[in-house]
Every structure is written in structure tokens, then in C-alpha cells.
Amino acid sequence: VRCRTRARLRAGATQRLNDSLSSTEAGTLQVHMYHQPGTPNSSGTLTFSFGEYLAEELCVAAAKACGILPVCHCLFALATEDLSSWFPPNHVFTVSDATSLVVVYRIRYPPPRAPAHAGPGALGPRRRPLSRSDFLRGLVVGALSWQTLEACLCLAVLDMLRIAKESRQSLGRTFSCVSYKSCLPEGLRDQIQQRGFLTRKRIRRKFGQSLRRLGACQTDARYLKIKYLLDLARLQGAGAEECFCVPAPGGALGAGVHALAAACPGACSPALGPKAAPKSPVTPPPQTRQPFCDFPEIADIGIKQASRDSQPVENRVVTITKTDNRLLELEFPSLREALSFVSLLDGYYRLTADAHHYFCKEVAPPRLLEDLENRCHGPISSEFAVHKLKAAGSSPGLCLLRRSPQDFDSYLLTVCVETALGMDYKRCLIRKDPDGGYGLSGVARRFGSLRELLGTYQHCSLQADGVAMRLADCCPPRPKEKSNLLIVRGGCSALPSSPAAPRRSPNQMTFHKIQLESLTWGESLGQGSFTQIYRGVQRDQEGGEQHQTEVLLKVLDSGQRNYSASFLEAASVMSQVSHKHLVLLHGVSIGKDSVMVQEYVRHGALDTYLRRSQAEGKVTTSWKLQVAKQLAYALNFLEDKKIVHGNVSAKKVLLAREGDAAGRSPPFIKLSDPGVSITVLAPERELLVDRIPWVAPECVRDPAALALEADRWSFGATLWEIFGSGAVPLGALEPSKKLDFYLSALQLPPPKWTELANLVAQCMDYQPRGRPSFRAILRDLNSLITSGGRLAGRGEDARLPGQAGQGGEDPTLFEERHLKYISVLGKGNFGSVELCRYDPLDDSTGELVAVKRLQQSSADQLRDFEREIAILRALHNDFIVKYRGVCYSRGRRSLRLVMEYLPNGCLRDFLQKNQARLDHRKLLLYALQICKGMEYLGAQRCVHRDLASRNILVENDNHVKIGDFGLAKLLPQGKEYYVVREPGQSPVFCWRNRFPPTASPLVPTRAAPHVPAVVASPFPGLSSPGPRGPVPCCPDPPPIPQGPIWAANPPTCFAFASTRNPAPRAIARPCASRHATSRPSSRPALADRTFLRANSGLLAKPRPRGLLPGGVGSKSG
């Protein structure tokens, strides 16, 4: 329906409020109404005495006096008498002895036509007197011409006919008693009066002839009023406008002036925009305007005080942000004019897009704030109330609270009730007393608030039409939901009703395809849950010139082809949206591997940057607020497009520009693609649990429930993460504990900043319907930024409290995405060891680590791997490879062991490469350190079972360590060890007291002293009884040990404990004995330090360690 009426309101230079108002009785506030005869208040003026009054309260009182229904109340507002300024709904009028105020109650937001549900007398009787008054005061007609004069005379004829019909007088008598000039604008009267006598006579004669000709037609006053409004609309153009003359921010009023108009057009054309500065205050013609945006496209409005030379001034700067993040800044000479302009946009947005939203608290209607607090809808009709309950599931007891469409002081409660015939909807009336109490109609009990009333009846049974019912959840207003409170404008297509876009099949996906040959692969940047990430270069040939673009390459793992459709779907969605805070997708390369090619963002993930910059002090509270607001802009853009991201977290936010602490250059972030959607992870619940607390609780229960509300929950967790300087919430909790966190409906530790804590709590509401929209989040972030300037100097107010009991970060838990692959260190039958850099700060300063992973993650292999990790975790010795931690991936289905990296590799390869420069002292030192390590293992009742030179790692020329505990066993306390005699046979503890445990750990040690001396393995085929290994070629020691030391008969072998100055030959022979009872322990062989100093000259001082699990002490040899 195209707009039929228009009221152009010219606003010149605004004077102070008292100067623009008419004089009246002192100590009163008068509200003038354009009043129709026959209504209760025939005077057309409301008078208020001493006190304070909200503008909205005055509007409600005027609406009651005029018979305006609550559903049309939002179309009216208060203005000064000359209409130079409008008052926001929360403006406070103070009436005292020295004040005398006069305001006008009138329509500020004229709709295309009166709503059908508003009743016969809702708007029609109001609009014609308003339009006629504006016409007569010259507020409609701009430049006067003869064409304008003719149109105005036609309107005057219609007005004169109406007067005759309503006064029941003849046309001749009316024409003689009422001057036709009184039906014309003031400026046109003066222009006619300046004409000659003959001209004025001719105009009056022509007017009388037209009046008699139209008077012969049989018509009534109602038709004449409608015809008057239609002709007036054609005279003034397309829609109602308010024009504001403002300078550009920082400029003088006379230079660079922008005339900005806001209107409610009949079609979805842009309605807000700057224009070239006119030389006169007359509104510029429409063809000179440069449109900015339509009302539903506004994402955010902010008001701040202007400054000159770092000194605050009276001016106010209004910043309007579109959903695509384009900005429009306007500087108003005073706060009153700025609020008048912002309240205009705020009101039109509620009429055209969202009836329950406001942009800033400076213009927020008090009744709307009260409704949002009580989860109450506006005066919607019963049909829309029932429709909303059906959309919410219509569960028994589900209710909806709304204001009455007929009475300003009543509420209606619509409740779902299950009857024998099916689901029914009962209605209860709630009345508000003059003293502020609330109560159900027919019930004597009264309550202090609506929340108290609803909370009480959730535990009590109600009777409605003989049906018992009990209240359950209350259905709150949802963003941008349709209702009878919105104006339908011609040409506006209906928004899609489903918030979730249907999934596309692969042949329906849209993205640019990139040839794999055009990509150059660079360094690894880490990995995700399903992808490997690399830095690269894309080469394009265009016009004979080759262009190179730095890109980011995300490669889907070859073992995850089941998720390729979801992976490509994410690429398709990202390729069809464009926003400055969304990562640009160049295209996808599909071949052997699916590769997503994105723009390369310089500073990487936000969480790593926060950790890296925390100590440097570069990140302030205002810096974090700017980042959070930019993220909210991106998610608001997706929300308007009905696109669910589904994987919002700080590691998905990439930092393109650092900014500076002084605020001259703000930071700049981009939101990355969501990757594999959680909707395809339903069979693999552990993957969802691993994403707690970023994934919404309803998505853990049912991944198909992914909706726009899930992104709001994720934003709350990300906001907590940002102000926690990249700390991982619940990072150290086991999956079962994370599930308990959701099942118990717990919350993350609240920040010390109360307003920030409230925003996080609202976003992380366990009821999806209670989470605010991203426009509301932007509004709250604006208020935080306003107060954040005061907190910037003491940033501790925004920090998070201690995370005791909530699972702080575990230093032994490594994130998979921060492990950057470098090379392969070695491979075995069951696993491989890789060299990686763990770089959580993403600045190439992370430590190098050795990462052991299994080739296949079967249940048996994973169980053995976990046993190996448990053994290594319990060992703390200078000659044992240090345990760093573990790394889980893909919902903890696969596991990696992270150990310290020893740069010289295994002892076998080290000896082969450095044989020429290693003397016997250095070789003996290695044997000594191996013995110390084995002695420690024996004290811990740990059997290595795979000691060999390939499993001895070299840290440097003076230090070796024992590694690879894949076959190691821990002896339980009080048990003996049974030697495995057949491949694959597990040890059994049944031959008690036959094999002493102190000898068994040294069975593999027979190889250790030989390898340093002979370099190559000398023992092929020595498994049969009898033969011994060759004697190592070491120099004979001065003292010869007593007794046979290399005997094949175990009982005759010497005890290692009896040797004070053994030679390498003497050490090797008893260790290689085939009889366990004849093998010495490590401690006696290491007792004589005099011999060791003489032969090696190098000793490593042992370090004491703590107790191991089970009470076993940790000792060094």
C-alpha cells in the first residue's frame, strides 16, 4: 500500500525550548491535541501542574482523552508548537513555578493507512485535522507558484464544502460567512493579497463557480475528507519527511552542511541519506538526494559528545551503522536536536522492522523497557498470540503475556491448555491498579510486579472457563517477528519464515573453482578438527600479467571424506555473502583433496594474539570492546540474512589489524568460515562435547536444533574468552564434567565488570528464546564502550576472576590446531614420531616438541597407547625422556603423546655419524647415564622391555635419555614378574618367588654397553642357549674383577653389587646373562664414583623427584 499522505515539516535553526513555546499560565504544562468535537475532552488541551512527567506518560494521557487505541499509540509523539523539535518518549518534563510549557500531541509516524484492527475512530478523525492544520500553517507547501496556487484552491473548495455539510448550511451562506482565504496556507494568502483588485476578484469568482458546481454533486462529509487527504497527498509527494540541517562532524555550520531527511516511503526504497547543502533552509528537491539506507537496514545508532581540540563541546555526534558496516556520522548543535533525530529513526525502525527493539537508551520508551523486562509483548492481536504459541510448540502451560489492544492499563495472558478435544488457548485478563499493583480479573490477590504474578501462578492452579491450568514457560518477544504492530509497505517482499536455510546438495553449491596448479604451498599454520592449514600463494593470469595473492589453504583431511559435503557447503555459503568483517573466500579446489582458498589474515587467530599480547599491555578494555563489537556486526549481518554460523569462538576470529592503545587506529577482525557443521556430527557426540562451552546446550542434545539462537550463545562464550585474554573456558575438564556443566545449568565465572557479566549471562541463557538479538547486543556493547572509557585506566575491572572449580587451562593439554608440523622423526610398526612446533601465540616462538601418534586408532592400540602415556607421565628423571602432555583431536577419539624434542636423534644414528670424535670416556658416560635411567625404572617397578640404541635419544654430546615406553610394564605392588617366552603372550603373575624382580629390568641392558663400543649391532642369531655376545673392545682396567663375569652358567656369574671398579667388559658380561638370578642391579655397578671419574670425567648430578602414584618414591642412581 503506497503512502497516500505526506506532511513535510520544515525545521529551521532551533531555538531554546522556552523561546519556541507559546506563553501560558505559569507553573503548568499544557498538551494541545487536534481534537474532534464530541470526544470526552472538548477543550482539546490537557493541563498538568507541578511535578515531573515522562513524555510517554503525557502521550498515554492524551491518547486516552482522544480515544486513541494502544495499537496506534506508537504513531504519536510530543513536539514543540512550531514543530522544530520532537521529544523522545523518555524525556522528562519538569514543571515548577518558573516554567510554562506548551507541547503538541500529534502523529509523527503517519502510516500509509489506518490499521484495519485499530477501530473505526482510531486514526481517521485524527489525520485530517492534522493534515489540514499543517497545510494552513504552510508546513506542506514549499515554493509557491501558479500551479501550486491552483492545487491549493482545489483543496480550499473541498474544505469549504465540508464546512457547509458539517454546519448544515447552504453553500451561499457558508461562502458569504467564511472567507475562502481562511482555507489556504498563510503564505499563499499574503501572495494573493499582494495581487491587484481585479486579480483578487477573478480568483474569488472562479472559486465560487467551482464551489457551486461541486455542491450540486450528492456526497457526504466523509467522502469529502477522504478526497481532501488524497489531493493533499498528491500535492506534497510520496511520504512524510522530517529534514535536519546539520554540518559534517568537526565542520562549521555554514561549511559542508548536510541536509538529512528521514521518511516512511510507500515502497522499500532508501529513506535516509545526506544531500548537498542548500543555500536556503527550504527542503531540497528529491532528485538531489543521495540515499543512504532504509530503516530495516540500520544495525546500530550511537550518540557521543563532540570535541574541539580535545575539549568537549555542546555538540553531539550521531553515528548510524548499516548492516554492511557502512557509516554515516552527523553532528548536531545540541543534544535535544540529536535526540529528536535519533528518536525518529528509532520509532520508524519499530514500525517497519522490529516492534520490540530500541537503538539506544537515550531514546528508549519506558513502557518498552518494562515489557522487555517482563517478557511481555506489545498490544498484539489474539490471532498473532495464538500463532506465536503454535510456533513455540504449544506445550501445555506455555503462555504469552501481551498488552491489551483496547486498554492502556490491562494485560492479556494467553495460555495453552490441553483438553479432551485437543489443544485450546485460554485468555486471562490482568489489570493494573492506579497504585501500581497487578492482579487477575476476578481474583482479589494483588502482586507488586508482573514477574511476581507469573511466578506465583506457575506453582498454583488456575481456572479458566472451567478448565484447570498451570503456567509453564512464558514465550518472550523474538527479534523481527511479524505482528499487527508492523507497517506493511508496498513493494516490500515478505521475509522468509524459516530462520534456517535448507542444506544444499553438492551439485547446487555455488563457489569459484580454483585449479590446484595455481596454488603454491607454504608453511604449515596448524590444523583444525578436520583440516590441515597452510600458508600459500595463488597465481592468476590476467591480461598477459601474472598476479600473486597470499592466501590461506584449508585442506580437508583425506580420512574425513564423510564431511566433504558439509565442508563444501560452508564454502558455498561464505562465497555468497560479503561483509568487511567476514573472511573473503577466493574459491575451492576440488580434486584428490578438497582445498578451501581464503584470504590470508596477517595476525592470525584472536585467542593466540590475546595470549601473546597480554604481557605486553597492548590489549586494553576498550580494545577488547571494539573487537567484540566488530564480531557482533558480522554476526548481525548473518542474522539478517538468516544464516547460522554455528562455530563461533575466538579461534575463528582472525585479527587483520592490531590497532594501537591510544585508539587512533582501532583493531580490525574478520570472522572465518564455520567449517564442518555440527548438524552432521550427531552420530559422534564426543565431537560436540569437545566444543563445550561454545556450542549451545540445545545443540548438544540435538544437533539438528541449530538455529540463530545458537550463535548468540557462542558469542557469549567468545566474549568471555576475549575478556579472559584468550583463556580457554572449561579447558581442563574431562568430557563427562563438561556434560555435567550443561546438565546442571552452570555458568562461566562472571567477570568483575557487572554490565559485562550481565551481557554474557543474557547471551548464555539456557532458554534459547531468552537470548538477545545481535542488534540488542550491539546496543549493550555501545553502553559498555561509553563506560569502558572510564575503565580503560583500570583494566582489572573487566578481567575475569579466578577459575577455581571451573577447569582452568591444563599446561599438559595441548591444542591440536597449535601443533605445526615440521618433519617426520621416525616411523614404527604401530606409530610415528613427528617434529612439531607448539605455537599457541602464533608468532613462531613456540617450543619444538616430539609428537607420537598411532598409525591406526583401534580400541586395543589406543588402550596400549594410553598405558604408555600413563607410564611416561609418572616418570621424572634426568635420563628419561620428559613427558610434556597429550593432544586430543576430533572429540578425543584420537590421541597424541607430546614429549620433549631431543635434536640429535637416536643413539644408534648419533654414534654412526660421530664415531671418529667420540672417545671411550664419552661412550662410558652414555652407558653410565643409561644405567642411571634403568636403575630409576627399577626403583619405580617399571620394566622397559625394549631397551636398544634406537630407543636411546641424544640431547647433546654429554646427555642421553631413555625413550619409547611402548612395551613397558609396571609391576603391581607385591607381585612378581613372569618373563614372556612366546611372542604376543602377556605376562601373568603366577610363578611367585621364582624370578626376583630386581634382575628382570636389566634383561635388555645387555645391548647398551656394546653399542657405544662396536657401533653396529653384533648380536644376530644369539637367541639359542650357550653362545655369549662378543667381548666389547674396551681397554682393560688396572684392577681385574674377581670371579667369572662372562659365564654362561647363571649361578656362577658375579653379583654387580660386589664390583667396586668394574670395566666395561665386566659390566657387559653379567648383564647379558641368560639367568635372571645372575644379573646385577644397577645400583652396585654405579657405586664406585672414583672409577667413573677416572674413566669419564663427566657426571650428571641427579635431581630428586616427588612421589609417584601408589606411593612409590622417585630416586636417582
Compute the distance between CA of residue 111 and CA of residue 832 in angstroms, rounded to an integer.
72
Report whether 826 belongs to an annotated binding site: yes
The answer to whether 75 touches 123, Cβ cutoff 8 Å, is yes
Q: Any idea how long the chain is?
A: 1117
The answer to whether 384 touches 419, Cβ cutoff 8 Å, is no
Strand partners, 263: 241
Compute the distance between CA of residue 887 and CA of residue 1116 in angstroms, rounded to an integer.
29
One-letter amino acid at 243 equals: C
Report whether 378 belongs to an annotated binding site: no
- φ/ψ region of 491 (left if φ > 0, alpha if ψ in -120 to 50, else beta) reads left
Q: Which of 407, 864, 946, 957 is catalytic?
A: 946
Total Cβ atoms within 10 A of residue 769: 14
Compute the distance between CA of residue 1040 and CA of residue 408 in angstroms, rounded to an integer.
111
Residue 691 CA: distances (Å) to CA of 86, 699, 777: 50, 11, 23
Total Cβ atoms within 10 A of residue 593: 16
The answer to whether 836 touches 821, Cβ cutoff 8 Å, is yes
The answer to whether 446 touches 439, Cβ cutoff 8 Å, is yes
The answer to whether 3 touches 240, Cβ cutoff 8 Å, is yes
The 3-state secondary structure of 837-902 reads EECCCCCCCCEEEEEEEECCCCHHHHHHHHHHHHHHHCCCCCCECCEEEEEEECCCCEEEEEEECC
Report whether 830 belongs to an annotated binding site: yes
Say if residue 125 is preceded by a cis peptide, omega within 30 of 0: no
SS3 label, residue 384: helix
The answer to whether 671 touches 648, Cβ cutoff 8 Å, is yes
What stretch of H or E contains 242? strand 241-247
Q: Give the phi and the psi of residue 165 in degrees, each rounded to 5.
A: -65, -45
Grid cell, residue 215, equals 455542491
627-631 contacts, C-beta under 8 A, 24 or more apart: 627/653, 627/655, 627/667, 627/669, 627/722, 628/719, 628/722, 628/781, 629/778, 629/781, 629/782, 629/785, 630/581, 630/667, 630/668, 630/669, 631/581, 631/669, 631/671, 631/715, 631/718
Compute the distance between CA of residue 585 and CA of residue 565 in angstroms, rounded to an integer.
17
159 is catalytic: no
- What is the secondary structure of 5-33 as a DSSP string? ---EE---S---HHHHSPP--TTEEEEEE
Compute the distance between CA of residue 803 and CA of residue 823 in angstroms, rounded to an integer.
37
SS3 label, residue 267: coil
Residue 300 CA: distances (Å) to CA of 325, 645, 756: 9, 21, 19
Q: What b/e sequence results for 436-456 when a residue is b if at least 16 CB atoms lie within 10 Å of its CB, and e otherwise?
A: eebbbeeeeeebeebbebbee
Compute the distance between CA of residue 906 and CA of residue 903 in angstroms, rounded to an integer.
9
SS3 label, residue 807: coil
What stretch of H or E contains 235? helix 221-236
The answer to whether 171 touches 212, Cβ cutoff 8 Å, is yes
Report whether 825 belongs to an annotated binding site: yes
Q: How far is CA 537 from the centre of its chain?
A: 30
Report whether 833 belongs to an annotated binding site: yes
SS3 label, residue 452: helix
Q: What b/e sequence results for 606-616 when a residue is b if at least 16 CB atoms lie within 10 Å of its CB, and e otherwise?
A: bbbbbbbbeee
Closest to 870 in 3D by CA, of 1109, 1111, 1114:
1109
- Note the helical H segments in 592-676: 606-614, 621-640
The answer to whether 1006 touches 1028, Cβ cutoff 8 Å, is no
Binding residues for ATP: 825-833, 852
Catalytic residues: 946
Binding residues: 825-833, 852
